[in-house]
């Protein structure tokens, strides 16, 4: 082979090797698993003066004495260009997990240290029995408040309670108690007599010693004793309007028929008498020769008189109109005008009621136990919230919420509204509500299935007039409930 050819081949091999060495930094880095695995340490010779292993057995060295041992190799670092390339390359995304991440855990109500139960008594006048129980292991100072129905006044209060005017026509009874551990106390109130058949609802709540945060609430409705069955009788038939109208129509028809029959018989008797008095020239005796046939007068068919037909038609028309009017009046009186019309995308039917009455919508059962408002101009800046109006004040509603569905349900503070005079409304003041619940965001987590919570909702309103209605709902498309404030 000529020398020039050998030199060219050697040069080509050298250039090819240089290309391979230049392409090594561009190769992809090792897999994370491979790079994360530790490398086994290099085998080093044991020095002669090393401590012998336990047991007194000395293993011979692999390197003969007198032969210098090789120094451990220093760890090699990749070039700067390789490190820069490795840091610049994006990390490939990991595979999605096989199981979906768990959703937010539903909120469960904190354990109640004080429970309240209210029951009405069977008495001629309204009476209520309130049982307050401390289920904790330590004594508790609590304030019990009972909202009396508007316009009612207490006649008897158990020891330690006092009556105060809460605003408007509403009266409130307050007790300050100290409950030992695992003890219960029974309280009682009696109200003045009311008109028969008027039910009265009086909710009661147990608060902390300062009267701001509720422990538990309950409600009860007193109803008068039912009247005996002998006293509750229906009106006699002759006092019912449909029966009276039908009887009048039948009487008119029978009278008209009798008059018509009497007139026909009277006309027949007159005709017979006239024929009997009519005689011939021979004095009514016959002749030898027959008389020529005389043309007889044509008799017209007798028809009922016009006044009879008109009277019968008027009687029937009056009966039909009276029956239709009575039926329509009964149906209209059965319609509840307080219910909101719901249609289209609304879920459920809108329900309206007073304070202390449980009202159920599509997912939640709401019960408003009481509403208290501060003085105008006392609404300051809440934790994390903005400044309140200059003449604004905060109204705190004690609300019980129960999830009546079989699944956890979320709810939102912006859907809970307080309606002011004139149709204006405000949503829940979430920073102030969080502060009233000791920093806990009650709208952050959904409610567990079948759970119940009693919590305060705070509304910041302007002006001197308190809210007239509360609108509470579980979702955007829920019909919700409306509670009239006394």
377 in the same domain as 327: no
d(CA 187, CA 210): 20
Residue 463 gets which letter from DSSP? S
Mean pLDDT of 445-459: 93
Residue 377 lies in a domain: yes
Note the pLDDT tens digit of each residue in 118-141: 999 988 889 999 999 999 999 999
Lowest-confidence range among 38-52, 281-295, 391-405, 469-483?
38-52
Residue 152 lies in a domain: yes
d(CA 427, CA 411): 13
Residue 330 lies in a domain: yes
Domain that holds residue 202: 114-222
3-class SS of residue 265? helix
pLDDT band at 37 (very low <50, low <70, confident <90, very high): very low
d(CA 110, CA 213): 13
Q: What φ, ψ does residue 231 adopt, rounded to 5°?
A: -80, -25
Beta strands, E only, 180-269: 183-191, 200-201, 204-207, 214-218, 221-222
Domain count, the chain: 3
Residue 64 has pLDDT above 80, yes or no: no
365 in the same domain as 468: yes
d(CA 458, CA 376): 15
pTM value > 0.85: no
Mean pLDDT of 9-17: 76
pLDDT of 142 reads 94
479 in the same domain as 410: yes
362 in the same domain as 391: yes
476 in the same domain as 366: yes
Residue 431 has pLDDT above 60, yes or no: yes
Question: Please, which residues bridge with residue 132 across strands?
Answer: 116, 185
d(CA 48, CA 68): 12
424 in the same domain as 315: no
Residue 182 lies in a domain: yes
247 in the same domain as 188: no
467 in the same domain as 408: yes
Mean pLDDT of 388-405: 87
Mean pLDDT of 167-178: 83
Note the pLDDT tens digit of each residue in 332-344: 666 554 444 444 4
Lowest-confidence range among 161-170, 175-184, 209-218, 459-468?
161-170
pLDDT of 262 reads 83
373 in the same domain as 319: no
Residue 169 has pLDDT above 70, yes or no: no
Residue 358 gets which letter from DSSP? -
Residue 395 lies in a domain: yes
Question: Please, which residues bridge with residue 143 across strands?
Answer: 176, 207
Residue 344 lies in a domain: no
156 in the same domain as 251: no
Residue 441 belongs to domain with CATH number: 2.60.40.1240
Question: Which residue did the predictor score with more confidence, 258 or 39?
Answer: 258
**Count of positions (residues) in the chain:** 486
Note the pLDDT tens digit of each residue in 336-387: 544 444 444 567 778 999 999 999 998 999 999 999 988 877 776 654 455 5
Question: Which residue did the predictor score with more confidence, 257 or 162?
Answer: 162
Question: Please, which residues bridge with residue 360 across strands?
Answer: 365
Cβ neighbour number for residue 162 with a 10 Å cutoff: 11
Note the pLDDT tens digit of each residue in 82-95: 434 444 444 444 44
478 in the same domain as 365: yes
Residue 262 lies in a domain: no
Residue 277 lies in a domain: no
Residue 347 gets which letter from DSSP? B
> Measured between alpha carbons, how far is residue 6 from residues 2, 19, 198, 471 in Å?
7, 20, 121, 98
357 in the same domain as 318: no
Q: Where are the alpha helices (DSSP H) in 334-438?
A: 430-436
């Amino acid at each position: 082979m000529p020398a020039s050819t050998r030199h060219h081949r050697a040069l080509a091999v050298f250039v090819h090797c240089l290309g391979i060495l230049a392409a090594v930094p561009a190769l992809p880095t090792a897999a994370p698993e491979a790079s994360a695995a530790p490398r086994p340490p290099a085998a080093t010779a044991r020095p002669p003066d090393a401590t012998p292993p336990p047991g007194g057995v000395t293993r011979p060295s692999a390197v003969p004495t007198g032969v210098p041992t090789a120094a451990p190799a220093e760890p090699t670092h990749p070039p700067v260009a390789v490190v820069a390339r490795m840091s610049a390359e994006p990390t490939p995304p990991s595979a999605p997990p096989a199981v979906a991440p768990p959703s937010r855990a539903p909120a469960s109500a904190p354990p109640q240290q004080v429970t309240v139960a209210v029951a009405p008594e069977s008495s001629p006048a309204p009476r209520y029995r309130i049982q307050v129980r401390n289920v904790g292991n330590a004594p508790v100072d609590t304030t019990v408040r009972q909202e009396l129905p508007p316009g009612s006044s207490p006649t008897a209060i158990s020891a330690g309670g006092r009556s105060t005017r809460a605003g408007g026509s509403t009266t409130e009874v307050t007790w300050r108690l100290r409950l030992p551990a695992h003890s219960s106390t029974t309280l009682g109130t009696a109200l003045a007599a009311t008109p028969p058949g008027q039910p009265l609802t009086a909710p009661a709540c147990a608060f902390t010693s300062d009267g701001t945060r509720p422990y538990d609430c309950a409600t009860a409705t007193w109803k008068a004793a039912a009247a005996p069955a002998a006293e509750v009788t229906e009106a006699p038939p002759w006092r019912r309007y449909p029966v009276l109208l039908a009887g009048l129509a039948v009487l008119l028809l029978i009278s008209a028929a009798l008059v018509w029959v009497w007139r026909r018989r009277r006309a027949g008797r007159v005709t017979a008498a006239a024929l009997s008095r009519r005689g011939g020239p021979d004095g009514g005796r016959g002749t030898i020769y027959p008389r020529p046939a005389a043309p007889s007068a044509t008799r017209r068919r007798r028809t009922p008189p016009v006044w009879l037909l008109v009277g019968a038609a008027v009687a029937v028309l009056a009966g039909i109109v009276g029956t239709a009017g009575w039926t329509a009046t009964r149906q209209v009186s059965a319609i509840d005008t307080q219910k909101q019309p719901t249609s289209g995308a609304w879920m459920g039917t809108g329900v309206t009621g007073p304070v202390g009455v449980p009202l159920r919508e599509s997912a939640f059962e709401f019960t408003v136990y009481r509403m208290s408002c501060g003085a105008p101009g006392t609404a300051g800046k809440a934790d994390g919230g903005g400044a309140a109006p200059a003449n604004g004040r905060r109204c705190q509603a004690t609300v019980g919420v129960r999830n009546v569905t079989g699944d956890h349900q979320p709810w939102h503070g912006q859907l809970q509204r307080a309606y002011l005079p004139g149709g204006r409304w405000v949503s829940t003041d979430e920073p102030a509500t969080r502060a009233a619940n000791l920093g806990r965001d009650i709208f952050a987590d959904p409610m567990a299935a079948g759970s119940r919570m009693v919590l305060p909702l705070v509304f910041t309103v302007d002006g001197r007039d308190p809210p007239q209605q509360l609108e509470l709902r579980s979702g955007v498309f829920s019909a919700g409930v409306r509670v009239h404030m006394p």
